[in-house]
Amino acid sequence: MKTKSEQLFETFLNANNVQFEKIEELKEKGAYRPDYLVTLGNLQLVFELKELAEDNNFSVDSSKPSTKIVGDHVRRRIESSKKQIQYGANQGIPSILLIYNDLDPLQMFGTEDHDFTTAMYGELTILFDKNTRQSSEMFNGKNQSLQQCKNTSFGAVGRLCDRGGIITVTLFENVFSKVKVPYEHLPPCFEVRRVEVSAEPLSFA
């Protein structure tokens, strides 16, 4: 029985004539395998799919506003998919986590662009000097899921989205990846977000 995200991903791949195979699930305890092996000519990619399906803080009732911590949903799914992503990366195959939002009908709550960049690279931060009343430029601060020595198996983290029957895949680059995704060889059906990361505040101005 395929999950909703698996059905959508296979529909997306078939619609764009992308070759793929479902990776066999092993039943043995402690066996971690990702979901799909995708082939693009001489290039192979591994994909692990995770869904956002439950959150008591989300409400479709406008009288009960939803609340969230920016990046928290993406951050938690990065943490829960590490073993599956390592399976592909350890074989030298670029490995990608895709997150599908099955919680919000608009597919925005917890999976907007800034949720991904915040979870991956840290909360956008500004330092303020109370004495001089000067502020630093904005930089990526705490709660980084991806660092030079942390989660380097992730080639990218992405969003699988279905809005009005239009299925899209958007990939957010992991600049710290040990097995890089060759973005220049991806077909145009994959939307790509390349990033620049500043881990330290710049001088006060």
Tell whether the torsion through CA atoms of 26, 93, 43 and 189 is positive or negative.
Answer: positive
Q: What is the largest CA-CA distance in the chain?
A: 62
Q: Is 12 helix (H, G, I), strand (E, B) or coil?
A: helix
Q: Looking up tokens 């949720």, which residue turns up?
A: 115
pLDDT band at 52 (very low <50, low <70, confident <90, very high): confident
37 lies in a domain?
A: yes
pLDDT at 93: 97
pLDDT tens figures, 171-181: 999 999 999 99
Domain span at 42: 4-193
Average pLDDT, the chain: 83
Residue 50 has a CB neighbour count (10 Å cut-off) of: 22
Ranges 26-35, 71-80, 95-104: which has the least confidence: 26-35
pTM over 0.85: no
pLDDT tens figures, 137-154: 555 666 778 888 889 999
167 lies in a domain?
A: yes
Residue 159 has a CB neighbour count (10 Å cut-off) of: 22
- Best-predicted range by mean pLDDT (25-29, 87-91, 135-139, 199-203): 87-91
Q: Are 20 and 13 in contact (CB under 8 A)?
A: yes
183 lies in a domain?
A: yes
DSSP state, residue 187: -
138 lies in a domain?
A: yes
pLDDT at 176: 92
Number of domains in the chain: 1
Ranges 3-7, 66-70, 79-83, 165-169: which has the least confidence: 66-70
200 lies in a domain?
A: no
- Relative to beta strand 36-40, strand 166-173 is unpaired
Residues 126-144 have a mean pLDDT of: 62
pLDDT at 164: 85
